[in-house]
Each structure stands twice: as structure tokens, then as C-alpha cells.
């Protein structure tokens, strides 16, 4: 019986990941036909004289790092609350302001000040996300409406924290976090994505957070009757999203070597929601898979890189992305999925060939 359940679980997981996997395969095939060298990887020397990997593929997995991390947190909020947090970009600006305010001392950025800046950044971001979570879980406000507050004023708060200055952060530590560590040719943000994924996997493995989150997302009333506290689970999802946003903000600041509260993680909330949707997760809450959301993030970045490689102007990139993403999301909608499943079932049961045979006869 256990083996049957395990097999069903694996089949369901593969089915949920089918749309992002097919979309990724199509993008890879398209680029291979358009430009066989699109995915070529080379060793190059950066401005600091270090040997690093370069190429479109490296650029994709590096550039999508912040989005992939935020998509993980957005997945939990979506699963538990049946809605999305549209303030992650603005709160990311606040997180960056916290980080720079603490890490950038009069003596520059040291190991101690950097670590302290990261801690304050995470704690401060969690506090703002707890504000969102309280509105959603305690006051029962729809997530998109509740998070509209910080979406509107978050970057102004970041301005109040750090002022209008955009200090240049010149430090080997910042260079290592935003770019590469000397002697390691792979961009550091890639390792941070892996680290965040491992941490969340360990949390799911040694706690019941995944089960509780899905239970609350499916039916709060039933979850409460089974001893689960929906308010606590929803707040926890926002706390985890806060940690993800803080890490993404540190990556963004370190990559640019400065804080610009107007541009840091700008528009990332829409891409994060799309990554969750493309990953096959139900935007109404319930069952989720982080792997799907991470795949969705890389699909969005690969699509963007592909469009730029085709010399599409920045003004038109969003329009082309919207068209492709609409196709992907519609293809993964419950209506289309149910019709495809019904068609596959009819083919397997032999009803279609039998009908065809009677018509020929």
C-alpha cells in the first residue's frame, strides 16, 4: 500500500511539473535551432583578474537567482493564504536600505559589519512581512489588498532609512557575494539559491510545515478542527518570505555595488507570481511544489535573455514576455489540464481507435 501511495505521489509531482518542463524544453530547443552556440560556456577573465565562467547559460542562472529565491517564499504565501504578496519588490528596497545602513560603516565594509548588516536586514524585513501577515491572517484581508500598502509606500520608507544617497559599496566581501568568490568560477548567487532550497527542504523534512501549509490552503476550517492554527501558519509563510526577500536584496545590492531604492528588485513581484503560476502551483492555495516555482523563475529569465539575444528592444520585451507567459499559464490551467487528461484517458482506453474503426467500416 505504501509503495502505491509513493508511486501516486511521484506521478502527481511529475504531472505538476509537466508544464514548466515542457516550456523549458521548448525554449531550449528554440535557442538551439536559432543559435547553436547560445548555451556555450567559456572561461573568461573578469575585471579583478579572476577566471570565471561566462555565456548565456551562466547569465541566466545568475540573473534569475534573486527571482528564484523570492519565488520560493511566494510559493508558501500563495499555498497558505490563497493569494500573493505584491510588496516584495518594495520591501526588498527596505531590506537593502537596512543592510547598507548597518554594513557600510565609516571604516568601510568589514566581515563583522557585513554579517551584522545581513542579520538586521533579515530581522527588519521579517518585521515588515509580519505586518502584511497580520493583516492577512488576523484581520482576514485579501493578500493582494493587504500588501498593496507596502507596495505603495515601501520605497519611500527605504528612502527615509537611507536618504537619497546611493553610496558605492567597494569591498571584496560585496564583490564575492554579488559576483564570484576568487578561485570559484561560478557566480555566488547560484550557491545562495541552492542554500535557500536546501534550508527549506530541511524544514519540510523535519517539521510538518509543508503538510500544515497545504492543509490551511485547502480548507482552513478542517485544518483548525485537526488542531492546526491557520493564523500561525500564515504568519510563518510571511516570515519565510521575509527571509527570502532579505537574501534577494543583499544579492541585488552586492551585484550593483550600491543601493538605489528606486530600482532595487523593481517589478520582481510580478515575475515572482508568474514563476509560481508557471511552476504549476495553484494560485488559490493548497498543494505546492517549490521546484516548479524555481523552474518558473529560470524560464522567465531564459525567455528574457532569448528576447534580448534576438535584438528585441527593452520597451517591447515585456509585451513579448506577456504573450508567451499567457500561453504557458493557459496551457497549465485546470480546464486545459482536465481536457488533456480526458483525451489521454480515452486514447489509453482504446475508445478513440475503436470509434475510428467503426467509422471506417
Q: In 3D, which of 83, 90, 92 has the Cα closest to residue 137? A: 83
pLDDT of residue 331: 76
Band (pLDDT 50/70/90 cuts) for residue 191 is very high
**Helices 290-309, 65-81: inter-axial angle, 10-degree rounding:** 140
Grid cell, residue 339, equals 481536457
Grid cell, residue 132, equals 502584511
113-151: pLDDT as tens digits: 999 999 999 999 999 999 999 999 999 999 999 999 999
328-337: pLDDT as tens digits: 778 777 788 7
The dihedral sign for the CA sequence 235, 203, 192, 257 = positive
Domain ranges of the chain: 50-267+281-290
What is the rounded distance in angstroms from the CA atom of residue 83 to the CA atom of residue 74?
9
- Mean pLDDT value of segment 156-177: 87
Question: 54 pairs with which residues across the strands?
Answer: 42
DSSP structural state of residue 54: E
Question: 45 pairs with which residues across the strands?
Answer: 51
Record the pTM: 0.90
Q: In 3D, which of 95, 92, 82 has the Cα closest to residue 144? A: 82
Q: Is the pLDDT of residue 112 over 50?
A: yes
Matching residue, cell 527571482: 67
Among 9-13, 214-218, 235-239, 270-274, the least confident range: 9-13
DSSP structural state of residue 49: S
Amino acid at each position: 500500500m505504501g509503495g502505491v501511495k509513493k508511486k501516486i505521489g511521484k506521478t502527481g509531482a511529475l504531472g505538476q511539473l509537466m508544464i514548466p518542463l515542457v516550456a523549458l524544453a521548448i525554449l531550449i530547443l528554440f535557442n538551439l535551432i536559432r543559435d547553436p552556440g547560445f548555451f556555450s560556456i567559456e572561461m573568461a577573465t573578469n575585471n579583478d583578474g579572476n577566471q570565471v565562467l561566462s555565456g548565456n547559460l551562466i547569465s541566466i542562472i545568475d540573473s534569475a537567482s534573486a527571482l528564484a529565491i523570492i519565488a520560493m517564499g511566494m510559493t508558501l504565501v500563495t499555498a497558505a493564504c490563497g493569494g500573493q504578496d505584491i510588496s516584495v519588490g518594495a520591501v526588498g528596497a527596505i531590506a537593502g536600505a537596512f543592510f547598507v545602513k548597518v554594513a557600510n560603516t565609516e571604516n568601510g565594509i568589514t566581515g563583522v559589519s557585513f554579517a551584522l548588516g545581513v542579520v538586521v536586514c533579515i530581522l527588519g524585513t521579517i518585521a515588515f512581512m509580519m505586518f502584511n501577515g497580520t493583516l492577512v491572517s488576523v484581520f482576514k484581508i485579501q493578500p493582494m489588498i493587504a500588501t498593496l500598502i507596502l507596495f505603495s509606500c515601501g520605497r519611500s520608507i527605504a528612502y527615509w532609512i537611507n536618504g537619497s544617497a546611493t553610496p558605492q559599496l567597494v569591498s571584496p566581501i560585496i564583490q564575492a557575494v554579488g559576483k564570484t568568490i576568487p578561485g570559484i568560477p561560478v557566480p555566488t548567487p547560484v550557491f545562495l539559491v541552492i542554500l535557500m532550497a536546501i534550508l527549506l527542504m530541511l524544514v519540510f523534512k523535519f517539521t510538518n510545515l509543508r503538510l500544515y501549509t497545504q492543509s490551511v490552503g485547502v480548507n482552513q476550517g478542517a485544518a483548525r478542527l485537526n488542531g492546526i492554527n491557520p493564523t500561525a501558519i500564515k504568519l510563518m509563510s510571511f516570515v519565510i518570505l521575509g527571509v527570502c526577500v532579505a537574501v534577494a536584496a543583499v544579492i541585488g545590492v552586492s551585484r550593483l555595488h550600491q543601493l538605489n531604492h528606486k530600482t532595487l528588485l523593481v517589478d520582481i513581484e510580478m515575475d515572482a507570481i508568474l514563476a509560481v503560476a508557471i511552476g504549476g502551483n495553484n494560485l488559490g492555495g493548497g498543494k505546492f511544489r517549490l521546484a516548479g516555482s524555481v523552474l518558473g523563475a529560470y524560464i522567465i529569465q531564459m525567455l528574457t535573455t532569448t528576447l534580448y539575444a534576438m535584438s528585441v528592444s527593452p520597451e517591447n520585451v515585456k509585451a513579448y514576455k506577456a504573450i508567451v507567459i499567457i500561453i504557458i499559464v493557459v496551457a497549465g490551467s485546470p480546464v486545459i489540464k482536465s481536457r488533456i487528461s480526458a483525451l489521454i484517458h480515452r486514447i489509453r482506453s482504446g475508445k478513440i481507435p475503436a470509434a475510428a474503426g467503426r467509422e471506417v467500416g
